[in-house]
A and B are shown apart, each in its own frame.
Chain A
Amino acid sequence: MKKKAVSKAKWIQSIATSACVLVASVVGFQSTAMADETCMSPYMAKIVGQEDYVYVWTLGVEGMGDGQDKLVTMSVNPNADSYGKVVNVLSVGGRNEAHHSGLTDDRKYLFAGGLDSNKIFVFDVATNPAKPTLHKVITDFVEKTGGMVGPHTFYALPGRVMVTALSNNVDHGGRTGMAEYTNEGEFIAAHWNPTDEDLRGAEKVGNVADGYGYDIRALPRRNVMVTSSFTGWSNYMMDFGQMLGDPEAMKRFGNTAIVWDLHTRKPKKVFEVPGAPLEIRCAWGSQNNYCFTTTALTSKIWLIYEDEEGEWQAKDVAEIGDPSKVPLPVDISITADDQGLWVQTFLDGKTRFFDISDPFNPVQKYEHVIGEQVNMISQSWDGKRAYFTSSLLGNWDKTGEADEQYFKLFTWNGKKLSHEFTVDFYELKLGRAHQMRFGAYSLYSQKPNSDGTMLSQTK
């Protein structure tokens, strides 16, 4: 506790002396545009209060329903007649290995990627939040980036979308990079990750510079971007059990996190973070210059932080469950007040709540079994509602009875989760439920007609 007080004081000091301009700008920013569901880009417009819809990027399952990927719109406003129901299904063709999705800074478009087909589906979610439409399909991601495969995270920067990739088109391994698109889906630039042969000006802090990629987050006030590292196509598409039994394949996981210069997009430091660091969540507080990530294979929480000297560092700060049992931490979510971190462990189907008030010493305070398997979480800005989905990857999900596919809402009172509703995605023949993004009429100064169409729409 004491250590924390000291380090906090030093942070305040360093910020006050070196970055008061930035802090001032952030404060101004906060009062106008910052805040959102807690894991999104700070550049993004925010939903005030209750969200109306959750868009679930869903993997088609061969032999089920129409067998293809789809964007499923869930109605989640308790005041709506359709509360807890699917209100729209938009099939997009193919099993693309639907995975992550992300909104543009103005929340007009939702970019949703296919880790296998490399297609990026750009949905218009603004014109009618209840009924997204397909605005555009980007089909030439591999060609335009010069060989990146597996568009993963879509992260909003002002007028831009950063797209991290997972693999490449020559060996389907983990060496990759990220690409930059306009909000309209026009390609701008490719940035390859640093490797030993070409560190691109970065410092190799530990033993590894593998060039792997996964997630991305930014801390604009510190001019920093952070990326993490997972694995290449051959592994993320492979039958999970087969891969665990393949010693060659198990060597091909990322062991790095990279700190980048946000403005120049140049890598600064390559940290050794062993065991596949996946999701990155940066703190919101104006003095909290740190981000969390968790390692899927080694089951640890890592802190990537700026120290008293203004140097970026990476440190493992806690274990998740019993790492020797490989619980497989997957999605994480930070609370808006930087006090708590939700961590889902896929194999035991649990969500775990860590107290991160001391970021150097996260302590698990609560755990709850969500289902046979669990991956994603999305919480409302006030932290009172947490939505969960089940799918990790098409060929990694559990098999047989344990392959539950759901969308669940729980409420959180700070002490425990209470189940509100479950939508069974297999019963509805939809497929595997993956990433969630929120939509709300309030964002677009709109209100729905009683039938769900927009007031602005002529019938």
Chain B
Amino acid sequence: MISVKKNIFRFINFCLLSLVVIIFVYANNFQSSAIAANEKHFYGPGDNKQGYESIDYVTNTLDLQKRVGKQADLLEFYRNPPLGLPPAPVPAYNPLTEEKVSLGRILFFDRRLSINDTFSCAICHIPEQGFTNNEIQTAIGVEGRSGKRNAPTVYNSGYLKMMFHDGREDSLEQQVWAPFLARNEMANPSIGYVINKIKAIPDYDGLFEKAFDGRGPTMETVGMALASYQRTLNAADSPFDRWHFGKQQDAVSESVKRGFEVFTGKGQCSVCHLIHEDYALFADNQLHNTGLGYETSMGSNSTTTRVQLAPGVFADLDNKIIRSVSKAKLNDVGRYEVTENPNDRWKFLTPMLRNVALTAPYMHDGSMQSLREVMEFYNQGGVENELLSPLIKPLDLSDQEIDDVIEFLKSLTGSNIGTLVADAFAAPIGNISKDDPNWAHDNQIK
């Protein structure tokens, strides 16, 4: 009797449990299928221009109204960095908290934090474009002012010991003030202007105080919040990581495995793009002269430029015409601009190569559109100049070897990219509204 009762009880219990499991699985499936539908939005510009060189180009344009996301537990990517990353560093004075991350996430997408309410960090670091901008070589800021450098990704930026292509900054907390104040980025007239604007925007009411023990927006807390958000954007556990660190043999193709051999062997890549025993950042915290900067500064000017006018339609435009509609081109001497040491001319910081398939165009000036172009550049030994790094020399790689390295580079895309981009899509975009400070709301022009 007792055992029958017990069995019935067990049976009911089992039924309830399975019901819960079924509901759980179903709900989970439902959620992940909502994300799956958006999957194609996460890995490149929604305005897809692949094949644009050809007259037969066919659009596959994604719709902005379907660019929707889902908030994620970002802190988890900091606490347990995905496979292949080391423990995430954080300065003692700015421990990571949920409140700071969520505040930093709001700031990152706020277009009001520029002089004319048009520029957020995310306008140059676009989530689905690898948190960079795939659509232009070098960044354009407020009023269309030209920058001379390509916007790097902010994925894994928490691991950077030096920031910017010339390595001139060393903390994420401080870094934010460069774009806030640069005339060709967000063009805010002063630090106080930014702080006071944030104080006057109702969306921030109480958020700083909550995240910083009662402290409101200050030069420090703004930097700390943005740094905290960026420290969660850790993207790894790529096919390469699963194979190399996770010892999962079938995680990558044979081509990737051969590419890895070239990368760490004949290609000499890992001399600068380091791979450690139990993690890899593919960078060395060093600056090197590969000759690219030298060539742009010193190379001779051609007389025509090939310009694409439409799919499959090109023209060779006389450079005189191009000059007639150009402002003076900005020169870039690299690390020298920080140290003023002539030995540092045209040295640039070694970038991390994680997620590199998502971050075209490449190099400090975005001058290379594809990984193939990058490989051809290395294979020819960079560009000869008196300061060329001795680590850069002609490689004599075969086409097969080049293809393999490219496959290897493509295997560095993190498995949590979708989650991070979906989270970014779910973040509110700070557009100016009637509640925000602006003299023009009340239309009082005499």
Binding site for B on A (CB under 8 A): 90-97, 116-119, 133-137, 139-140, 142-143, 146-147, 149, 168-175, 192, 195-198, 207-211, 232, 234, 236-242, 244-253, 255, 274-276, 295, 297-298, 323-326, 347, 394-400, 402
Most central of B49, B117, B326, B429 by chain A CB within 10 Å: B326
In angstroms, Cα B438 to Cα A135, docked, is: 16
Nearest-CB residue, chain A, relative to B134 = A248
**Chain B residues with Cβ under 8 A from A298's Cβ?**
309-310, 313
Known contacts A247-B308, A398-B325; A140/B369 CB under 8 A: no
Nearest-CB residue, chain A, relative to B62 = A197
Residue pair A136, B311 in contact (C-beta under 8 Å): no
In angstroms, Cα B117 to Cα A146, docked, is: 15
Known contacts A198-B65, A241-B326, A326-B315; A169/B431 CB under 8 A: yes
Q: Does B5 contact A (CB under 8 A)?
A: no
**Chain A residues with Cβ under 8 A from B329's Cβ?**
242
A-B pairs with beta carbons under 8 A, tally: 226
Residue pair A116, B118 in contact (C-beta under 8 Å): yes
Q: Does B170 contact A (CB under 8 A)?
A: no
In angstroms, Cα B312 to Cα A274, docked, is: 10
In angstroms, Cα B56 to Cα A236, docked, is: 26
**Chain B residues with Cβ under 8 A from A245's Cβ?**
305, 307, 322
**Chain B residues with Cβ under 8 A from A239's Cβ?**
144, 146, 325-327
In angstroms, Cα B440 to Cα A91, docked, is: 13
Chain A contact residues: over half helix, strand or loop, or mixed?
A: loop
Residue pair A147, B64 in contact (C-beta under 8 Å): yes
Known contacts A208-B57, A251-B308; A192/B136 CB under 8 A: no
What would be 20 A-B contacts, judged by CB atoms less than 8 Å apart?
A93-B440, A93-B445, A117-B116, A137-B445, A169-B431, A171-B45, A171-B129, A174-B47, A195-B61, A195-B63, A207-B57, A207-B58, A209-B61, A211-B61, A238-B146, A240-B325, A295-B310, A394-B143, A399-B324, A399-B326
Q: Out of A140, A174, A238, A297, which one reaches B136, CB within 8 Å?
A: A238
Residue pair B429, A175 in contact (C-beta under 8 Å): no
Nearest-CB residue, chain A, relative to B53 = A251
Q: Out of B45, B49, B116, which one reaches A94, CB within 8 Å?
A: B116
Residue pair B429, A147 in contact (C-beta under 8 Å): yes
Binding site for A on B (CB under 8 A): 45-47, 49, 52, 56-67, 111, 116-118, 122-123, 126, 128-129, 133-138, 140, 143-144, 146, 305, 307-311, 313, 315, 317, 321-327, 329, 361, 366, 369, 429, 431-434, 438-441, 443, 445
Min CB gap A459→B, angstroms: 18
Residue pair B432, A142 in contact (C-beta under 8 Å): yes
Residue pair A237, B144 in contact (C-beta under 8 Å): yes
Residue pair B62, A195 in contact (C-beta under 8 Å): yes
Residue pair B63, A274 in contact (C-beta under 8 Å): no
Known contacts A171-B46, A249-B136, A274-B313; A241/B325 CB under 8 A: yes
**Chain B residues with Cβ under 8 A from A398's Cβ?**
324-325
Residue pair A244, B307 in contact (C-beta under 8 Å): yes
Residue pair B324, A173 in contact (C-beta under 8 Å): no
Residue pair A173, B45 in contact (C-beta under 8 Å): yes
Residue pair B135, A248 in contact (C-beta under 8 Å): yes
Residue pair B47, A139 in contact (C-beta under 8 Å): no
Known contacts A137-B443, A238-B136; A196/B60 CB under 8 A: yes
Residue pair A135, B443 in contact (C-beta under 8 Å): yes
Residue pair B445, A139 in contact (C-beta under 8 Å): no
Known: A142-B111, A326-B317. 14 other contacts (CB 8 A): A90-B445, A93-B445, A97-B143, A171-B47, A173-B45, A196-B63, A197-B66, A237-B140, A241-B326, A244-B317, A246-B136, A250-B307, A252-B135, A398-B324
**Chain A residues with Cβ under 8 A from B136's Cβ?**
234, 238, 246, 248-249
In angstroms, Cα B329 to Cα A445, docked, is: 54
Residue pair B432, A242 in contact (C-beta under 8 Å): no
Residue pair B431, A143 in contact (C-beta under 8 Å): yes
Residue pair A274, B311 in contact (C-beta under 8 Å): yes
Q: Out of B63, B138, B146, which one reaches A198, CB within 8 Å?
A: B63
Residue pair B429, A169 in contact (C-beta under 8 Å): yes
In angstroms, Cα B327 to Cα A49, docked, is: 43
Residue pair B443, A241 in contact (C-beta under 8 Å): no
**Chain B residues with Cβ under 8 A from A147's Cβ?**
64, 429, 431
Residue pair A197, B441 in contact (C-beta under 8 Å): no
Min CB gap B432→A, angstroms: 6
Min CB gap A161→B, angstroms: 17
Closest CB pairs A-B (n = 6): A241-B326, A237-B144, A274-B310, A240-B325, A275-B310, A297-B309
Residue pair A116, B143 in contact (C-beta under 8 Å): yes
Min CB gap A194→B, angstroms: 9
Min CB gap B62→A, angstroms: 5
**Chain B residues with Cβ under 8 A from A146's Cβ?**
65
Nearest-CB residue, chain A, relative to B318 = A325
Most central of B52, B59, B122, B317 by chain A CB within 10 Å: B59
**Chain B residues with Cβ under 8 A from A237's Cβ?**
140, 143-144
Nearest-CB residue, chain B, relative to A185 = B443
Q: Out of A95, A236, A275, which one reaches B309, CB within 8 Å?
A: A275
In angstroms, Cα B52 to Cα A118, docked, is: 30
**Chain B residues with Cβ under 8 A from A91's Cβ?**
445
Q: Out of B135, B322, B440, B441, which one reaches A234, CB within 8 Å?
A: B135
Residue pair A402, B324 in contact (C-beta under 8 Å): yes
Min CB gap A376→B, angstroms: 17
Known contacts A92-B445, A248-B361, A395-B144; A255/B61 CB under 8 A: no
Residue pair A134, B445 in contact (C-beta under 8 Å): yes
**Chain A residues with Cβ under 8 A from B438's Cβ?**
139
Nearest-CB residue, chain B, relative to A146 = B65
Residue pair B326, A326 in contact (C-beta under 8 Å): no
In angstroms, Cα B46 to Cα A172, docked, is: 12
Q: Out of A133, A139, A207, A251, which one reaches B56, CB within 8 Å?
A: A207
Min CB gap B237→A, angstroms: 26
**Chain A residues with Cβ under 8 A from B118's Cβ?**
116-118, 149
**Chain A residues with Cβ under 8 A from B429's Cβ?**
147, 169-170
Residue pair B137, A175 in contact (C-beta under 8 Å): no
**Chain B residues with Cβ under 8 A from A250's Cβ?**
307-309
In angstroms, Cα B310 to Cα A393, docked, is: 21
Min CB gap A405→B, angstroms: 14
**Chain A residues with Cβ under 8 A from B59's Cβ?**
195-196, 207-210
**Chain A residues with Cβ under 8 A from B324's Cβ?**
241, 347, 398-400, 402
In angstroms, Cα B320 to Cα A398, docked, is: 12
Residue pair B140, A234 in contact (C-beta under 8 Å): yes
**Chain B residues with Cβ under 8 A from A95's Cβ?**
143
In angstroms, Cα B433 to Cα A139, docked, is: 7
Residue pair A397, B67 in contact (C-beta under 8 Å): no
Min CB gap A437→B, angstroms: 19
Min CB gap A248→B, angstroms: 6
Residue pair A137, B440 in contact (C-beta under 8 Å): yes
Nearest-CB residue, chain A, relative to B126 = A171
In angstroms, Cα B117 to Cα A240, docked, is: 23
Nearest-CB residue, chain B, relative to A256 = B59
In angstroms, Cα B140 to Cα A249, docked, is: 11
Residue pair B146, A242 in contact (C-beta under 8 Å): yes
**Chain A residues with Cβ under 8 A from B308's Cβ?**
247, 250-251
In angstroms, Cα B445 to Cα A248, docked, is: 41
In angstroms, Cα B129 to Cα A149, docked, is: 19
Most central of B45, B64, B135, B309 by chain A CB within 10 Å: B64
Q: Out of B64, B122, B313, B327, which one reaches A168, CB within 8 Å?
A: B64
Known contacts A169-B429, A247-B308, A251-B52; A242/B66 CB under 8 A: no
Residue pair B325, A140 in contact (C-beta under 8 Å): no
Q: Out of B61, B128, B143, which one reaches A197, CB within 8 Å?
A: B61
**Chain B residues with Cβ under 8 A from A171's Cβ?**
45-47, 123, 126, 128-129, 133, 135
**Chain B residues with Cβ under 8 A from A255's Cβ?**
310-311
**Chain B residues with Cβ under 8 A from A394's Cβ?**
143-144
Residue pair B439, A93 in contact (C-beta under 8 Å): yes
Min CB gap A139→B, angstroms: 5
